[in-house]
Copies of this chain bind each other. A is one copy, B any other.
Amino acid sequence: MSVQLEAAPMSVPHPYWLRDNCPCTVCRNPRSGQKRYRIDELPDALTATEAVEDAAGLSVLWSDGHRSFYPTGWDAPDQDGDHRTERGKRLWEAADFARGLPEADWSGYLADPEERIAVLAAVRRSGFAVLRGVPVEERRVLAVARTFGYVRDTNYGELFDVRVEPDAVNLAFTDAAIAPHTDNPYRDPVPTLQLLHCLRNDAAGGDSGLVDGFRAAALLREEDPEAFALLARTPVPFRYRDRTADLSAELPMIGLDPRGAIREIRFNNRSLDTLRGLGGTELDAFYTAYRRFAAITLRPELRLEFRLGPGDCLIFDNTRLLHARTAFEQTTGGRHLQGCYADLDSLSSTLAVLRRNTAALDELEALFAGEGAGEYLGEAVTMAEHMLQAGALARAAGAPPALVAAALLHDIGHFHGSGLELMAGTDNRHGETAAARLSRYFPAAVTEPVRLHVPAKRYLCTAEPDYVAKLSPASVHTLSLQGGPMTPEEAETFAAGPFAADAVAVRRWDEAAKDPAAGTPTFAEFRPLLLELMS
């Protein structure tokens, strides 16, 4: 950001905008980023009376006396900004997946957060992904949805069975072919994600098809801009009725954001209700445009065809992709999918948290490799070796993951690198303790034993008379700096606390983790465990 420094009053560009982005803890809750003031509470005619920019950032004194500091790079573009319109997507045709679908194995997806990131990112970018080897069990599709979000309950139930039903009201529950469509256009808010988990598919036919509705709409825009504009500006009524439901929604088939980018496709000729209120030739033009768009969605080169087998679970964006299936023959075997709906916002949140956590672990790993190579208070191991050994001891003892993480990270407070400060975000100038820093990422079961591992030493010196003798010389030295042994009253209070036993356990691994002859695991070995704890 460039700043013009002038004579008083100092000028900063867009003062209300700049002030509304003040990152200080008076203005915002540091944990949620939520602002603590109302926009109307900023004074009229707000100006900067002082503005100084240097390598660290921009410091502003405002006309109402508030002071803001904007660290350099605070307004860097958000990589993750627009993730719902065509601008944030990879539009595709079938040939783009000639080398394979975006897919992952269920066990890898569960075990490896990087695999989960890849799958969720594919759903967001390409609109879909397939999980293979999901256990062939009823209701399992709900568990898949819950790995990244929340199931959207509807009149079809928490889940629905896609199989042939006698006297079916819905075409889905027959053996007929279904043309590319989005689900539930008569619902507003429409379910933004759909999952289909294949339990059985022995029938001849019954293959799946996907069409990128954003691509189809973009083609219509290229080939017939008038038709595109008409579909985008005309709200159309969709409707579904049965004995217990009467759902209706009125929205365009091609939904645009206010800047004209494609944002949402609602395409389902089965549930289009009577269009009213279009006069003159507009109604005929609408039907011409609608039929043209329909024809595009049916082009073979747009349709990605594949077959779901038992254990496959397809996850797709119902605001973008049209899904379809070929007809199948009941007589040749059965076909049974279980489906449910969920929403994109939670998927994106899960993805963002996984990425944030991965980035934080990258920083932690770099700290272990960098500052961690330094001397550890005169011991015969480095700081990193000490912490990695502590983690290894906890793991070897069969400690639960949170306690392994606490042992591994217990001395993180000794690091002062910029990486760690970055982890602490806007709070970095306030010198939080290691536990406070970790609390941005880890639950109390990790951070509390870390916080209490120093008092645990003072506690053990009181509770176990021979404990002091086990301490290394360096540890005896720091004991006095830390306040010496606890009084009996202090020890009793400490022991009654919720994480005392865990802190004592960490402490014992801490004392033992100073063996220059012991093998030392790598930080990378702990990453899956840490990532699991973070989410």
Copies per assembly:
2
CA distance A290 to B19 in the complex (A): 14
Decide if A376 is an interface residue (CB 8 Å cutoff): no
Name the distance in Å between A2's Cβ and chain B's nearest Cβ.
Answer: 14
Decide if A372 is an interface residue (CB 8 Å cutoff): no
Q: Is the beta-carbon distance between A287 and B16 smaller than 8 angstroms?
A: yes
Q: Mark A120-164, 1 if CB is under 8 A from B, else 0.
A: 000000000000000000000000000000111111000000000
Q: Mark A235-275, 1 if CB is under 8 A from B, else 0.
A: 10101111111111111100011110000000001111111
Q: Is the beta-carbon distance between B151 and A153 smaller than 8 angstroms?
A: yes
CB < 8 Å: which of B17, B154, B237, B284 contacts A16? B284
CA distance A21 to B169 in the complex (A): 18
Closest to A23 in B: B274
Which of A190, A243, A269, A288: most chain B Cβ within 10 A? Answer: A243
Decide if A294 is an interface residue (CB 8 Å cutoff): yes
Decide if A187 is an interface residue (CB 8 Å cutoff): yes
CB < 8 Å: which of B84, B239, B275, B349 contacts A33? B239
Decide if A212 is an interface residue (CB 8 Å cutoff): no
CB < 8 Å: which of B38, B170, B345 contacts A187? B345
Decide if A40 is an interface residue (CB 8 Å cutoff): yes
CA distance A242 to B440 in the complex (A): 8
CA distance A516 to B497 in the complex (A): 81
CB < 8 Å: which of B189, B283, B290 contacts A39? B290
Name the distance in Å between A319's Cβ and chain B's nearest Cβ.
Answer: 9
Q: Is the beta-carbon distance between B155 and A294 smaller than 8 angstroms?
A: no
CA distance A246 to B356 in the complex (A): 9
Name the distance in Å between A330's Cβ and chain B's nearest Cβ.
Answer: 19
Q: Is the beta-carbon distance between A75 and B39 smaller than 8 angstroms?
A: no
Q: Is the beta-carbon distance between B32 and A274 smaller than 8 angstroms?
A: no
CA distance A169 to B34 in the complex (A): 8
Provide the residues of chain B in CB contact with A257, threshold 8 Å: 235, 251
User: Given A78-B276, A235-B258 in contact, is the A246-B14 Cβ separation under 8 Å?
Assistant: no
CA distance A288 to B15 in the complex (A): 11
Q: Is the beta-carbon distance between B39 and A345 smaller than 8 angstroms?
A: no
Q: Report 6 cross-chain contacts, Cβ distance below 8 Å, ordered by A residue.
A: A16-B291, A17-B283, A17-B286, A36-B270, A234-B258, A246-B356
